[in-house]
């Protein structure tokens, strides 16, 4: 099975790659940082020797690189799972966030998924099956202080997911929007999670894996997952 994961070098993307690294699968990974991505690929290959791990750098906020990445993926066959996980967060409220930040986040958080999916879906339709996961956010569902353009971009990704689900259901292709709350990744810096206040990336990956295990006639349209004590 060919599985594509963007933003795969760390955090949620890396955790999903580990969960989907089962025998005979081919993992096709991308991220912007080659050093981190290389370390991740080596680690995955050592842990799961029966899995093929292929990787390449790509900045999916650039449409030319999206096109090139899609072509690179298709040389390994038609993907059965696509995880659109590439994302960027720039803090700020609408009235005070840095100029251009909304466009940057739309390019990374929305258009990367939109453009890549459009390039890959024709092959999936021809194959008559597939599963697309769009990693949205709790910020896709409600506003919060400091969300600004990030929340706007994630609301848009949710809208993309809803429309994609509508358009692809008759072709046997599943679409799942994933809405994580606070997850302990590098974006939290030196945050002390010793009290387990926020979730682990593996929690999100576990739910994604579970959604792939259903019968062909069932789909999980949305996965909303929050810290047990609620949002921060």
Q: According to the 3-state scheme, what is the secondary structure of 147-168?
A: CHHHHHHHHHHHHHHHHHHHHH
First-to-final CA distance of the chain = 38
Q: By C-alpha distance, which of 90, 130, 93 is closest to 108?
A: 90
CA separation for the pair 206, 227 (Å, rounded): 15
For residues 214 and 201, give the distance between their C-alpha atoms in angstroms, rounded to a whole number: 22
Q: Could you say which of 55, 89, 114, 150 is catalytic?
A: 150
CA distances from 107 to 46, 88, 119 (A): 34, 9, 16
CA-angle at 120, arms to 115 and 126, nearest 5° = 140
d(CA 37, CA 130) in angstroms, rounded, equals 25
Q: Is 150 a catalytic residue?
A: yes
DSSP 13: H
* Residue of 98, 78, 80, 77 lying closest to 89 (CA atoms): 98
Catalytically active residues are: 150
């Amino acid at each position: 099975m060919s599985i594509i994961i963007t933003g795969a070098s760390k955090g949620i993307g890396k955790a999903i790659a580990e969960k989907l690294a089962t025998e005979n699968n081919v993992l096709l990974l991308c991220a912007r940082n080659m050093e981190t991505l290389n370390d991740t690929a080596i680690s995955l290959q050592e842990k799961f020797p029966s899995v093929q791990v292929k990787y390449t750098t790509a900045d999916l906020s650039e449409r030319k690189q999206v096109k090139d990445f899609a072509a690179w993926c298709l040389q390994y066959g038609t993907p059965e799972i696509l995880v659109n996980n590439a994302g960027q967060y720039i803090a700020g409220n609408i009235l005070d966030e840095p100029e251009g930040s909304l466009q940057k986040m739309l390019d990374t958080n929305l258009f990367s998924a939109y453009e890549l999916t459009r390039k890959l879906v024709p092959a999936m339709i021809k194959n008559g099956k597939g599963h697309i996961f769009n990693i949205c956010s709790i910020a896709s569902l409600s506003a919060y202080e400091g969300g600004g353009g990030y929340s706007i971009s994630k609301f848009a990704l949710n809208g993309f997911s809803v429309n994609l689900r509508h358009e692809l259901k008759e072709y046997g292709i599943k679409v799942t929007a994933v809405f994580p709350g606070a997850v302990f990744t590098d974006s939290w810096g030196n945050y002390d999670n010793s009290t387990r206040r926020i979730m682990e990336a593996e929690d999100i990956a576990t739910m994604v894996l579970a959604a792939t295990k259903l019968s062909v006639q069932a789909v999980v349209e949305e996965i909303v997952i929050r810290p047990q004590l609620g949002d921060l």
